Amino acid sequence: MRRTTSFALLVLALAPSVVPADGGMWMPQQMVDLAPRLKKLGFQGNPKAFADLTGMPMGAVVSLGGCSASFVSPDGLIITNHHCVTGALQYNATPAKNTVKEGFLAPTLADEAWAGPGSRVLVTVAVREVTKEMVGKLDAALDDTQRQLVIEKKAKELTAACEKDGLRCRVASFFEGLKWFEIAQVELKDVRLVYAPPSSIGNYGGETDNWRWPRHTGDFAFYRAYVGKNGKPAAFDKSNVPFQPRHYLTVDTAGASPGDVVVVAGYPGRTARHVTARAMRETLEWDYPRVVKRYGDMLAILAELSKGSKETEIKVALRVRGMANSMKNRQGVLEGAKKGKLLEKKAAAEAEFLAWIDADSSRKKKYGGVVTALEDLQARRETLRERDATLQALYFNSSLLSSARSLRRHADEKRKADAEREPEFQQRNWEQQREGMERMQRTLDLGADRALLRYALLEAAALPASQRIEALDAIVGLTAALSEAEAKVKVDAWLATLYGSPSKLADAKSRLALFDATPDEVLAAKDPFLDLAAALAPLDKQVREAAKARSGAMSRLGPVYMQAMLEKAGGLVAPDANSTLRVTFGTVKGVSPQDGVFYLPQTTLQGVVAKAKKGDPEFDAPQALLDAAAKVLATGKGPFVDPKLRDVPVDFLSDVDTTGGNSGSAVLNAKGKLVGLLFDGTYETIASDLLFDPVNTRSIQVDIRYVLWVTSQISGATRVLQELGVKP
C-alpha cells in the first residue's frame, strides 16, 4: 500500500515558537505541533494520538456526508445528532406513522430500519500529501481552463490508484491550492436507524431556539453500520451483519462541567476566513441576503402546501428543515457582521496586508498584485451572477428538472472513456447517483415541485436584459419588458402545460430505467422535463466552463495569496474548513454576548420544563418527560443528575471553533471519553465562519447525561444503553 498515516507535519510557520492564535479547525497532523497547548489546557491523554487516524480516538470518528458521527460500541453502533438522521426518519415515515415527529426505536437488532438509498458512513483511514503530484510540474504556458483540466486529470489518476484497494478516496485542496492531500476512507453502505427520540425532544425549541442560547434540545440519535458476512462493505441486505470497528468511543457518565477541557473531532463543512475583502463583501451584501429572501419565501410556500396534507408535510420535511436552518444561519451572519463591523475589519486587515507586501522589495516581487488579480477575477464573475444563480435555482427548486439534467449529463458522459468524464460523472459515482434517483421518490411532491419551480421562473422573468436566460425566455414567452403580473400569467400558463400530463421522471422505475439506458435511448426519450433540460444545457455547459476557467485562475493566484498570508501570520494557521477531518479544542465556559447579559454554560431539565407549552409544535414536551423531570426537580436526585446542579444537564457551551458539518461531532473530555455531541453555534457569533471572534465565539453541545437520561428514563431504550456499557 502506498498510503501512510504517519506523515510529516504541515509546517507553514516562519516562527514555530509563536503561540497559535485562538480558534482553529486543525488538521489531525497539526496536533503534533499543538500538543504543548493542549496539554497546558489540561488534556490528560497524548495529544499526538490525534494524528493517528487508525488509532484512538480518530479511528472512531466518522462522516455521514454532511454530518459527523462516532462509533460507540464494538458492534458498529453510531451516535450523531437527531437532525442528522432526519432524512432516514423521513424515508421511513408514513402518514399513519410519522417517524419524523414520533421518532424511532428498534426493539431488536432485526427491527433496525434501513436509512435509505445513498446513506453512507465514511471512516477516514489515511491522509497523504500529494502537492508535488498535483501541481509540482504544471506548465506555466497553459491557459486557465487547460490548467484546471490538467489538475482534474491528476486528481482522477490519484483517486483511481488510491481506490484500487477498495477504499473511497478524494484529493482535497488546502490553503487555496497551496497544499493538496489524498484522503482515503472506508465506505460503509448499509446504514440503519437504531433509535431517535421524538422531534419534541430531538428538535425541542424548533426554529425559535435554533442557533440560540439558552438551548434545551436533545439533539441526538443512533445509527448502526452493517457489512457483508465476509466483513467487507456491502449494499443494504437483510443478511448483512453489524460492522465491527477497530475503535469506538466510551462514554463518561460524569458529562462536562464548567472549566473542563473539551476536544471536538469531526468534519466541518466550509469556512471563508482566508478570502479577500471583496469576496467577503459579495457574501454579505449579495449572496446571504439573497438566500434569506429566497428561503423565507419558499418556506412560506411549503408551509401553505403542507396544511391539511400529512403526506406533503412528510415529503418536504427534510427540505424545510434544511432551508430554515440555512436561512437563520445567514440571518445570524448578517446581523453579527453588521454588529461586529466585519467588513470594516476585513478591509483594514487587507490594507495592512498590502502595506506589509509593499514594505519589502522581495515580498513585493513575490506577492505584489495578487490581491488585485483576485479582485479582477471576482469582478468578472459578478457580472453574470444573477443569471447564473437563477439558473441553479431552477435545478435546486425542481426535483424533476434536476433529475432530467442529471440523466442527460450522465448519458453524455457515458459516451466518453471513464478517465475523460467529468469527475462527478465517473463510474465510481454511478452507484450513489442511482441511489439518489431512487431516494427522490420519498421527497417528491408534485405540488411542491411545481410551486417552487414557479418561484424560480418568476426570478428568471425579473432578470435584467443583460442577464437573460434566453432559452427559457423563448420557451415560456418571457421578456425583460414584461410586468410582474404579465410574467405570472405567462409562467402559470406554461406550467399548466409542463405539469399537465404525467412526466416519466415522476416515476421511480422510469427514472432508474433511464439512468441504466444507453446514451442514445436517454437523449431520444420524450419528456417535457428532459426537453427543458436539453434547452438549458448549452447555457449550463457555458456556466460550468466559465467556472473551470476561474478555478484554473485561482490555482495560480490562490497559493501565492495564501503563502503571503501565512508568511505574514508568522505562526501555525488552520486552513479553511473543506469537509475533511479536523480537531478543535477549548473549555466549557459561558459568555457575555452583550452589556449586562451573561450566558451560563449549562442548561438543565428545569429549563425544559419552564419552556414547555402544550399545543405549541416547538415546545410541546412529551408528558412522560415532564413527569420524569418533575421527580428530579422535586428531589434533586436520580440517574445522571449532576450533584452540583441537583438536576440533569441538557446542553452546554464551549469555546471550540466549529461550523456546519460539525453537527454530530464527538465532544471528548480530558481523558478522551465522550461527554457530548456538538450540534450548533450561537446566533451572535455565527459570523466567525468569515472572521473568527476569539472572545465571544461559542458552540453548543448536548450533554451525554441528557442523552442517557432520555434514552433510559423516557424512551426505555435499554438495549442501546446496555450496548453503551452504561447502567443507570
Residue 447, SS3?
helix
Residue 613, SS3?
coil
Q: Are 514 and 407 in contact (CB under 8 A)?
A: yes
82: annotated active-site residue: no
CA 456 vs CA 251, 282, 503: distances in Å:
48, 21, 20
The reported pLDDT for the residue numbered 23 is 79
Establish how many alpha carbons lie within 13 A of residue 290's alpha carbon, considering only the half-sphere containing its beta carbon. 13
Closest CA to 30 of 54, 13, 55: 13
Q: What is the pTM of this model?
A: 0.93
Name 184's bridge partners: 126, 169
Structural domains of the chain ordered from first start: 56-249 (no CATH), 277-552 (no CATH), 584-600+612-723 (2.40.10)
Residue 586, SS3?
strand
Q: Are 272 and 283 in contact (CB under 8 A)?
A: yes
Establish how many alpha carbons lie within 13 A of residue 90's alpha carbon, considering only the half-sphere containing its beta carbon. 26
Closest CA to 347 of 289, 270, 284: 284
Closest CA to 317 of 199, 219, 410, 222: 199
Residue 657, SS3?
coil
The grid cell for 280 is 467577503
Rounded CA-CA distance 85/198 in Å is 12
Name 170's bridge partners: 183
DSSP-derived secondary structure letter, 283? I
Rounded CA-CA distance 317/252 in Å is 34
Cα dihedral 520, 524, 530, 533 sign: positive
Decide: residue 301, CB within 10 A, 0-12 exposed, 13-18 middle, 19+ buried: middle
Catalytic entry in 68, 306, 555, 663: 663
Rounded CA-CA distance 381/376 in Å is 9
Rounded CA-CA distance 133/305 in Å is 52
Closest CA to 84 of 106, 65, 103: 65
Q: 3-state DSSP: the chain helix, strand, coil percent, rounded to 5?
A: 50, 15, 35
The reported pLDDT for the residue numbered 308 is 86
247: annotated active-site residue: no
Amino acid at 719: R
Rounded CA-CA distance 79/726 in Å is 14
Cα dihedral 503, 508, 509, 515 sign: positive
Q: Are 454 and 472 in contact (CB under 8 A)?
A: no
Question: Which strand (E) or helix (H) includes residue 63?
Answer: strand 61-63
* Whether residue 214 has a cis bond before it, omega within 30° of 0: yes
Rounded CA-CA distance 135/551 in Å is 13
Rounded CA-CA distance 431/449 in Å is 25
111: annotated active-site residue: no
Q: Are 636 and 32 in contact (CB under 8 A)?
A: no
Q: Are 390 and 463 in contact (CB under 8 A)?
A: yes
The grid cell for 480 is 425583460
The grid cell for 276 is 479577500
Question: Can you say how many angstroms the Cα of residue 563 is from the centroid of all Cα atoms in its chain?
Answer: 27
The reported pLDDT for the residue numbered 2 is 34
- Three-state secondary structure string covering 108-126: CHHHCEECCCCCCEEEEEE
Catalytic entry in 33, 70, 83, 173: 83
What Rg do the C-alpha atoms of the chain give, in angstroms?
26
Q: What order of strands is seen across the sheet that includes strand 649-654?
A: 582-587, 261-266, 666-668, 674-681, 699-703, 649-654, 602-604
Residue 538, SS3?
helix
The reported pLDDT for the residue numbered 728 is 67
- Please name the residue that has the C-alpha cell 478522551: 672
Rounded CA-CA distance 623/607 in Å is 15
Q: Are 181 and 174 in contact (CB under 8 A)?
A: yes
Rounded CA-CA distance 125/168 in Å is 10
Given a cut of 50, the residues of the chain with pLDDT beneath it are: 1-21
Residue 23, SS3?
coil
Q: Are 240 and 112 in contact (CB under 8 A)?
A: no
Pairing of strands 77-80, 221-227: antiparallel
Q: Are 449 and 292 in contact (CB under 8 A)?
A: no
Catalytic entry in 219, 445, 680, 689: 219
CA 7 vs CA 169, 246, 266: distances in Å:
17, 21, 20
- 377-381's contacts with Cβ under 8 Å and 24+ in sequence apart are 377/550, 377/553, 377/554, 377/557, 378/276, 378/278, 378/279, 378/282, 379/278, 380/550, 381/546, 381/550
* Whether residue 36 has a cis bond before it, omega within 30° of 0: no
Rounded CA-CA distance 489/493 in Å is 6
Q: Are 39 and 687 in contact (CB under 8 A)?
A: no
